[in-house]
Amino acid sequence: MNERYIYVRVTVNGSSKEFSTKRLWTQEGWNPSRGRAIGNREEVKQLNGFLDTFQIKIYEAK
């Protein structure tokens, strides 16, 4: 499998920071335009739920 770490990029006032979510996922099962995993399996739902929660926390910090 071709697993990669999922990274998040946050830009504030033109300054970007990247950091790892410490989650691995395959490139084949990833939709780069949506920034989410593809599929209906339970592990896909868990990962996408984690990413949704992560995104909400970033917006709340804003």
pLDDT for 4-27, tens place per residue?
999 999 998 999 999 999 999 999
pLDDT score of 62: 74
Nearest Cα residue to 31 out of 9, 48, 52: 48
Best CA proximity match to 3, nearest among 28, 36, 34? 28
- Could you tell me the residue range of the domain that residue 50 belongs to? 3-61
Question: Is pLDDT at 1 greater than 90 in this prediction?
Answer: no
Count of domains for the chain: 1
Q: Which of 2, 45, 51 is nearest to 26 (CA)?
A: 2
